[in-house]
């Protein structure tokens, strides 16, 4: 019996000796933000209140795992409003929608709930205020992104001009150089946006900016956390979806901060372990639409072949919370 116990002990010791050490620096904040939490909660509460199915125009947030989970509960995701029947509720995604969408829903007497992140709605309100003051708007954002489409769609065509980089600023044709204002997409790179803002201010010195930074607190905090760990790590993994703007920005921030290997993965099965062979330190973060369960899945995947030591590197504490719309807080 003693010999068997000793044999098992030595076997475990040998296995552990064969496993290389891996230090994981886990960025904080990471993952879900208040706007994403609210959007998911809106779909879940709508299903509780009205039963399945509930229709959702576009992905509620950019994460397949989250979307699939809501599908299992009875949510049906569609691309356009005309795919929704008249007798079922419809929810608009967290990224915001052009003003024509809720107008069309009202014209059909649809029950609808707007899950637009309040920080995106703030940008919409800014754009409308500038428009009422006679200003043409320049939006810094990514062409084709749902948030950019939604913000530009708050005003008549031609009233919002899109720029993605400094070259776009140089080629920009405006109505009146003395009557301009700019707004930004909430999920951009802090550093890239600063460069574009400076280019706008250089070319149009009188251009007006937002009273408060448009890039949201969650985007800012996650990028700063990556910068904090970048010089400590051999590689960085960002858990997020390929269509998630803020997740892709984290990959870029990691590379620019000096991390030679910076990759986006949706789940653990996308990790290229061959490319990571021999690393001693790894940074992990997640975009604002990625749930903690996927982050844990990625960490656990390294435990199979490494002796993992996880250190949380916290650069900010987030306690933001957004209320869901009143219609969901009232009884059916």
Per-residue pLDDT reduced to its tens digit, 18-62: 899 999 999 999 999 999 999 999 999 999 999 999 999 999 999
Return the residue matching tokens 């993965």.
265
Question: Residue 9: is its pLDDT beyond 50?
Answer: no
Residue 327 CB burial class (10 angstroms; 0-12, 13-18, ≥19) = middle
Residue 4 predicted with pLDDT over 90:
no
pLDDT at 331: 78
pLDDT tens-place string over residues 142-188: 999 999 999 999 999 999 999 999 999 999 999 999 999 999 999 99
pLDDT given at position 211: 83
**Does 232 have pLDDT greater than 90?**
yes
Contact 206, 180 (CB under 8 A): yes
Higher pLDDT, residue 332 or 91: 91
pLDDT: which is higher, 10 or 231: 231
- Taking 70 as the threshold, does the pLDDT of residue 12 lie above it? no
Q: What is the pLDDT of residue 237?
A: 98
Order of strands across the sheet with 90-92?
A: 75-78, 54-57, 90-92, 112-114
Residue 139, pLDDT score: 98
Mutual angle of helices 118-132 and 34-50, in 10-degree steps? 100
Mean pLDDT to the nearest integer, 71-95: 98
Bridge partners (DSSP) of residue 308 are: 22
Is it the case that residue 5 has pLDDT exceeding 50?
no
Structural domains for the chain = 18-33+217-314 (3.40.1010.20), 34-117 (3.40.50.11270), 118-203 (3.40.1010.20)
pLDDT tens track for 265-283: 999 999 999 999 999 999 9
Q: Is the pTM of this model over 0.85?
A: yes
Mean pLDDT, residues 131-151? 98
* Average pLDDT rounded to a whole number, residues 114-124: 98
pLDDT at 13: 45
pLDDT of residue 17: 58
The pLDDT score that the predictor gives to residue 7 is 47
Does the annotation mark 147 as catalytic?
yes
Number of residues in the chain: 332
pLDDT at 10: 43
Q: Which of 147, 164, 213, 297 is catalytic?
A: 147
Give me the mean pLDDT over the 92-108 stretch.
98
Q: Residue 6: what pLDDT?
A: 44
Residue-level pLDDT at 213: 85
Report, in this order, helix, strand and coil percent for the chain, each rounded to 5.
40, 20, 40
Does the structure show a pLDDT above 60 at 15?
A: no
């Amino acid at each position: 019996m003693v010999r068997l116990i000793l044999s098992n002990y030595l076997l475990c010791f040998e296995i552990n000796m064969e496993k290389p050490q891996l230090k994981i620096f886990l960025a904080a904040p990471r993952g879900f933000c208040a706007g994403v939490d609210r959007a998911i909660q809106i779909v879940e509460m709508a299903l509780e209140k009205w039963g399945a199915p509930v229709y959702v125009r576009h992905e509620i947030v950019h994460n397949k795992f989250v979307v699939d989970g809501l599908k299992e509960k009875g949510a049906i995701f569609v691309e356009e409003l005309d795919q929704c029947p008249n007798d079922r509720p419809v929810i608009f995604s967290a990224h915001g929608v052009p003003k024509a969408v809720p107008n069309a829903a009202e014209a059909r007497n649809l029950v609808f709930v707007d899950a637009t992140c309040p920080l995106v709605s703030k940008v919409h309100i800014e754009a409308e205020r500038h428009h009422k003051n006679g200003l043409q708007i320049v939006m810094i954002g990514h062409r084709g992104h749902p948030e950019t489409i939604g913000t530009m769609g708050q005003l008549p065509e031609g009233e919002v001009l899109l720029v993605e980089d400094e070259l776009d600023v140089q080629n920009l044709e405006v109505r009146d150089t003395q009557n301009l204002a700019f707004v930004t997409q909430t999920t951009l790179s802090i550093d890239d946006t600063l460069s574009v803002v400076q280019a706008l201010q250089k070319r149009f010195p009188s251009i007006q900016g937002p009273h408060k930074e448009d890039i949201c607190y969650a985007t800012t905090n996650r990028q700063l956390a990556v910068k904090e760990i970048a010089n400590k790590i051999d590689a960085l993994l960002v858990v997020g979806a390929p269509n998630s703007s803020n997740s892709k920005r984290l990959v870029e921030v990691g590379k620019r901060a000096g991390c030679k290997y910076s990759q986006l993965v949706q789940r653990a099965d996308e990790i290229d372990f061959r490319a990571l062979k021999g690393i001693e330190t790894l940074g992990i973060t997640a975009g604002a639409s990625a749930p903690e369960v996927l982050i844990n899945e990625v960490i656990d995947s390294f435990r199979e072949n490494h002796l993992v030591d996880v250190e949380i590197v916290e650069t900010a504490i987030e306690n933001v919370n957004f209320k869901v719309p009143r219609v969901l807080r009232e009884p059916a």
